[in-house]
């Protein structure tokens, strides 16, 4: 185990800011019991035995990272993407020296400021002003420098009025803005950002983007971990895809994102035939995502139609069979759950083998990857027969419009009017296909 963090080497030959070489990180799974001598000795013996036999079996250890190697050049912006549990947060923790690798070497040239969880170090009882000084000190800024930048920090966060109230009174948005603002003004050569770019409203996001560009122009190195692929595309020069603790792809951002999508597509193909116990009354035997032409597809654009097909096998006659589909964002937010019983409808009867289709029309989701969960249940007793979590993935690609003029997960169907006149060229976007075709007909007749 060898950690070599050379801070401010002043070595101009070093073009690398970060270098990971064969880094592995393992956690023991068994919970260490507190101060019980009997267990402590038992543990000691077990650990010694494991080490002697070179045993780091999967059942005893969780391998967060397995033999990971990569480099980040000075002034580069690297993005790290991957599904949950892939090892992204562990990588950030290793980069910020919060923890040390079990194996391998980490080489860091320069001072590191990490923004892992906004407002780390904030104390609820202290005021915003006091917390700025505290947080900046934790991030390594000298007091004199904080005083110089104080007004800038407060202004960036937009908290002039509230800077002297205890932060326990802040809304979560204010909290996040303050935290990001402090970190954005810190003097570090390397900035680590974990999923915090998604805080704040669209206005603040634009400010963040500009600030990140400034930091980038001044030659600093940035590492961003995010589920938000459009942010990754916006900010990053290079990208790494982590899966199960290993690097699955690295290089150009578009290439890596495409790789990520490819993995998801393969996962979708696998779930076209799902596994489940054969003695369930209703069994979902396959979950497939296709487009309006019937082709299996994973990537859609906002506004298109997607069809989720649930292939089922029904063993017995059930009076009130029902199905449900839910959508979660890549970072786990539960966006929507809809069942066939939502409007009290009843499915008359199920065939022995058949297909239930969920048509998502239009797709109102913004760019990103989403997971679809499907389940079958009894409409009367609400008993779940078959539940498939994240059975399928859906990727929404290509911003529908100006990338910084929207935020959040979903575009609600809408139209803008000014003094009763529609804003824009009048095409109806984000409305169900039936309405769209009606509208198109109507406008045709109007223009004739």
Partner 1 sequence: MIESLKKLGTARELLVTLTLRDIRVRYKQSILGIAWAILQPLSLMLVFTVFASLTGLSSGDKGIPYPIFVYCAVLPWTFFATAVRFAVPSLVTNHNLVTKTYFPREVMPMASIGACFVDFLVASVIFVGMMVFYRIPLRPTVLLVPVILTVQIVLTLAIALVGSAMNVFYRDIRYAIPLALQIWLFASPVMYSVDRVPQSFRWIYFTNPMAAIINAYREVILRGRLPDANLLLSSTAIAVGAAIVGYAIFKRMEMKFADVI
Which residues, in sequence order, are CB contacts of 335 under 8 Å at separation 6+? 326, 327, 328, 329, 365, 370, 409, 410
Nearer to partner 1 by C-beta: 94 or 236? 94
- 197, 228 contact by CB (below 8 A): yes
- Residue 116 binds partner 1, judged by CB under 8 A: yes
* 32 binding partner 1? (CB under 8 A): yes
263 binds partner 1 (CB under 8 A): no
Q: Please tell me whether residue 88 binds partner 1 under the rule CB under 8 A.
A: no
Binding to partner 1 by residue 129, rule CB under 8 A? no
Stretch that binds partner 1, among 9-17, 118-126, 345-353, 377-385 (CB under 8 A): 118-126
- Applying CB under 8 A, the span of 94-102, 234-242, 249-257, 434-442 interacting with partner 1 comes to 94-102
Q: Does 272 bind partner 1 (CB under 8 A)?
A: no
Question: Does residue 35 interact with partner 1 by CB under 8 A?
Answer: yes
Question: Rule CB under 8 A: is residue 333 a binding residue for partner 1?
Answer: no
Helix (H), strand (E), coil (C) string for 30-55: CCCCCCCHHHHHHHHHHHHHHHHCCC
Structure-token match 């075709």, residue found = 437
Question: Which one, 1 or 53, has the nearer CB to partner 1?
Answer: 1
Cis peptide before 39 (omega within 30 of 0): no
Per rule CB under 8 A, is residue 38 in the interface with partner 1? no
- Using the rule CB under 8 A, which residue among 18, 65, 72, 93 binds partner 1? 93
CB contact at 8 A, 298 and 269: no
Quick check: 10 binds partner 1 (CB under 8 A)?
A: no
Q: Cβ of residue 134: shortest distance to partner 1, in angstroms?
A: 6
68 binds partner 1 per the rule CB under 8 A: no
Which CB sits closer to partner 1, 165 or 339? Answer: 165
CA nearest 392: which of 239, 245, 273, 303?
Answer: 273
Smallest distance from partner 1 to CB 99, Å: 4
- 259/262 Cα distance (integer angstroms): 5
CB of 225 or CB of 363, closer to partner 1: 225
Q: How far apart are CA 80 and CA 167, in angstroms?
A: 31
Q: Is 51 in the site for partner 1 (CB under 8 A)?
A: no
- 405 token code pair: 């003029």
Smallest distance from partner 1 to CB 43, Å: 11
Contact between residue 89 and residue 116 where contact means Cβ atoms under 8 Å apart = yes
Q: How far is the CB of 23 from partner 1 (least distance, A)?
A: 14
Q: How many CB atoms lie within 10 A of CB 245?
A: 21
Which residues are CB-contacts of 66 (< 8 A; sequence separation ≥ 6)? 24, 244, 245, 246
At 267, give phi and psi (nearest 5°).
-65, -40
Per CB under 8 A, 99 contacts partner 1:
yes
Helical pair 143-157 and 128-138, crossing angle rounded to 10 deg: 120
The Cα–Cα gap between 31 and 389 comes to 27
* DSSP summary character for residue 413: S
Report how many residues bind partner 1 under the rule CB under 8 A.
28
Q: Which two tokens stand for residue 192?
A: 């680590």
For residue 153, the minimal CB distance to partner 1 (Å) is: 16
61 binds partner 1 per the rule CB under 8 A: no
41 touches partner 1 (CB under 8 A): no
H-state helical runs in 248-338: 253-271
Per CB under 8 A, the list member of 14, 46, 100, 335 interacting with partner 1 is 100
Who's near 444: CB < 8 A, 6+ residues apart? Answer: none
> Which span (110-118, 207-215, 351-359, 407-415) binds partner 1, by CB under 8 A?
110-118
For the CB of residue 166, give the shortest distance to partner 1 in the complex, in Å.
8
- Least spacing, CB of residue 34 vs partner 1, in Å: 5
The one among 85, 121, 158, 413 contacting partner 1 by CB under 8 A: 121
Among candidates 334, 317, 327, 308, which has minimal Cα distance to 378? 317
Other beta carbons less than 10 A from residue 437's beta carbon = 11
Note whether 53 binds partner 1 by CB under 8 A.
no
Instruction: State in angstroms the smallest separation of the CB of 139 from partner 1.
Output: 7
Reduced to 3 states (helix: H, G, I; strand: E, B; else coil), residue 7 is: coil
By the rule CB under 8 A, 138 interacts with partner 1: yes
Among 134, 272, 397, 431, binds partner 1 (CB under 8 A): 134
Q: Does the protein bind partner 1 through residue 190 (CB under 8 A)?
A: no
CB of 326 to partner 1, least distance (A): 31
User: Which residues in this chain contact partner 1 in the complex, by CB under 8 A?
Assistant: 27, 32, 34-35, 93, 96-100, 112, 114, 116-117, 120-121, 123, 125-126, 130, 133-134, 137-140, 142-143
């Amino acid at each position: 185990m060898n950690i070599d963090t050379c801070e401010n080497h002043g070595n101009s030959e070093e073009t690398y800011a970060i270098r990971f070489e064969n880094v592995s990180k393992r956690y023991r799974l068994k919970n260490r019991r507190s101060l019980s001598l009997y267990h402590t000795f038992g543990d000691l013996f077990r650990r010694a035995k494991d080490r002697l036999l070179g045993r780091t079996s999967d059942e005893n250890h969780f391998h967060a990272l397995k033999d990971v190697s990569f480099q980040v050049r000075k002034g580069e912006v690297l993005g790290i993407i991957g599904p949950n549990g892939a090892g992204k947060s562990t990588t950030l923790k290793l980069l910020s020296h919060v923890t040390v690798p079990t194996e391998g070497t980490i080489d860091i040239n320069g001072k590191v400021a990490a923004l892992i969880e906004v407002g780390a170090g904030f104390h609820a009882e202290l005021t915003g002003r006091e917390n700025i000084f505290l947080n900046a000190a934790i991030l390594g800024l000298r007091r004199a420098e904080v005083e110089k930048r104080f007004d800038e920090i407060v202004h960036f966060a937009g908290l002039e009025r509230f800077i002297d109230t205890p932060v326990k009174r802040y809304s979560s948005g204010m909290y996040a803005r303050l935290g990001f603002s402090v970190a954005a003004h810190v003097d570090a050569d390397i900035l680590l950002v974990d999923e915090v770019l998604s805080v704040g409203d669209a206005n603040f996001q634009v400010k963040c983007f500009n600030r990140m560009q400034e930091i980038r122009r001044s030659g600093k190195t940035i590492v961003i971990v995010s589920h938000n692929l459009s942010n990754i595309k916006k900010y990053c020069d290079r990208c790494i895809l982590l899966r199960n603790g290993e690097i699955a792809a690295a290089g150009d951002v578009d290439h890596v994102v495409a790789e990520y999508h490819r993995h998801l597509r393969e996962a979708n193909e696998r779930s076209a035939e799902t596994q489940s116990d054969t003695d369930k009354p209703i069994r979902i035997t396959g979950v497939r995502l296709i487009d309006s032409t019937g082709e299996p597809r994973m990537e859609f654009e906002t506004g298109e139609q997607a069809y989720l097909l649930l292939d089922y096998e029904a063993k017995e006659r059930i009076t009130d069979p029902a199905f449900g589909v839910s959508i979660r964002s890549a970072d786990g937010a539960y966006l929507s759950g809809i069942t066939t019983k939502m409007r009290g409808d009843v499915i008359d009867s199920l065939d022995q083998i058949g297909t239930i289709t969920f048509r998502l029309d239009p797709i109102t989701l913004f760019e990103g990857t989403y997971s679809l969960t499907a389940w079958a249940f009894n409409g009367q007793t609400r008993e779940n027969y078959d539940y498939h979590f994240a059975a399928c993935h859906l990727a929404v690609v290509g911003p529908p419009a100006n990338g910084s003029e929207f935020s959040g997960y979903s575009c609600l169907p809408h139209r803008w009017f000014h003094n009763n006149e529609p804003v824009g060229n009048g095409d109806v976007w984000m409305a169900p296909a039936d309405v769209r075709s009606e509208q198109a007909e109507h406008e045709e007749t109007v223009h004739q």
